[in-house]
Amino acid sequence: MQTGYKKIVIKVGSNVIAGENNLPDETVMDELIRQMAQAKKNGTEVILVSSGAVASGRSLWQVSEKADPIARRQLLASIGQVKLINTYTRLLQPHGLICAQILVTKEDFRDRMHYLNMKRCLGTLLQNNIIPIINENDVISVTELMFTDNDELAGLISSMLGADALLILTNVDGIYDRPPKEPGASVIPVMDGTRTDFSNFISTEKSNFGRGGMITKCSIAQKLALVGIKVHIANGKTPGIISAILQNQPIGTLFVPKANQSKLKRWVANSEGYAKGYVVINEGAKNILSTSGKAISLLPVGITKIEGSFQKGDIIKITAENGQTIGVGMAQYSSIIAQTYLGEKNKKPLIHYDYLFLYD
């Protein structure tokens, strides 16, 4: 039985690519490429989000640990990205496939026009049977410009392209029901996308090369599930892992999605990190938004406070009076105008329903 996925994003972590000697393991990379080629042959579009530039750089050049950490990362990423993409290019050739390198930063997702331009580029590559290989541009991504990790980037790309599924390939078998090292620990096969107590049973330890951890992966998976995208978290070193997932075999952990959201709402849902400000709403507005089950917009009458400076088209967060973030949306006018409308009736929505996404 096949999953029927027409478009998938595959995120490969640094610890999947790296071998025991901490150098890129081409045997693993070749096996993953073989499965991607087979998926494409079966009619599935494939987008690859690959870590490994810094790890590849470490295999080429030794940098003193005393060096400035930002400069060290920039140096390793600069030389390592060349090796990484050349390796993928060489491994794809026997399958008659070519790849394109796409390096991005958070800035590429902040602006709607930038976002649409990137989406158009990726769409053109897929139409021409080219595999986009996407990575964060670690050469210029520092501090506030950095993604949490490539899991966040893969989630944004999945949402942007309307993927059927995101496959997060890591060096563990999935999400465990307790710390993996504890006796009796087992992989949770299915998550319904509403569980939030990840820290109770997931280790906060991060990978040797990457910045992320399993809690980040779960948070990204949960967010994508809310907008209708399936997420598989599985061990990328397991032989045939991609093929097994596409054949609907029970392997790893699957986050089951809710009903599909519009492409615009998918973009809004994944844009909280780019919010220019936030609004506080009263309890009445919160109850209406969360329990009505209808297409409700956020009106100024329910807003008690506005923080930050934003313009029409900017993303803003919606918070309850207790400080809890309950959603995000695209402002329909500036914060200056919003301040003049604060608490008033019969004013146009600050966030129209079409541009509003609420968390469960």
Residue range of the domain that includes 319: 272-358
Question: Does 11 appear as a known binding residue?
Answer: yes
Together in a domain, 244 and 331: no
Q: What is the pLDDT of residue 158?
A: 93
3-state SS of the chain? Answer: CCCCCCEEEEEECHHHHECCCCCECHHHHHHHHHHHHHHHHCCCEEEEEECCHHHHHHCCCCCCCCCCHHHHHHHHHHHHHHHHHHHHHHHHHHHCCCEEEEEECCHHHHCHHHHHHHHHHHHHHHHCCCEEEEEECCCCCCHHHCCCCHHHHHHHHHHHHCCCEEEEEECCCCCECCCCCCCCCCECCEECCCCCCHHHCCCCCCCCCCCCCHHHHHHHHHHHHHCCCEEEEEECCCCCHHHHHHCCCCCCEEECCCCCCCHHHHHHHCCHHHCCEEEEECHHHHHHHHHCCCCCCECHHHEEEEEECCCCCCEEEEECCCCCEEEEEECCCCHHHHHHHCCCCCCCCCECHHHEEECC
237 and 260 inside one domain: yes
The pLDDT of residue 208 is 42
Q: Give the type of residue at 149.
A: D
Residue 178 tokens read as 């307790």
pLDDT tens, the chain, 360 aa long: 677 899 999 999 888 988 777 678 899 999 999 999 999 999 999 999 998 888 888 878 887 777 787 788 788 888 989 999 999 999 999 999 999 999 988 878 777 778 888 999 999 999 999 999 999 887 776 655 567 678 989 999 998 898 999 999 999 999 888 777 888 888 989 987 555 555 555 554 544 444 446 788 888 888 888 878 999 999 999 999 999 999 999 999 999 887 666 666 767 776 776 788 999 999 999 888 877 567 789 999 999 999 999 998 888 999 999 988 888 999 999 999 999 999 999 999 999 988 888 876
Q: Would you say 108 is a known binding-site residue?
A: no
Question: From CA 312, how far away is CA 346, in angstroms rounded?
Answer: 19
Residue 262 and residue 276 in one domain: no
Residue 110 has a pLDDT of 72
pLDDT value of position 210: 42
Domains in the chain: how many in total? 2
Residue 1 covered by a domain: no
In this prediction, residue 206 carries a pLDDT of: 47
Q: Identify whether residues 159 and 84 lie together within a single domain.
A: yes
Q: Are residues 216 and 351 in the same domain?
A: no
Q: Is 150 annotated as a binding residue?
A: yes
Residues 260 and 282 reside in one and the same domain: no
Which of residues 248, 266, 284 is at a domain's end? 266
The answer to whether 137 is a known ligand-binding residue is no
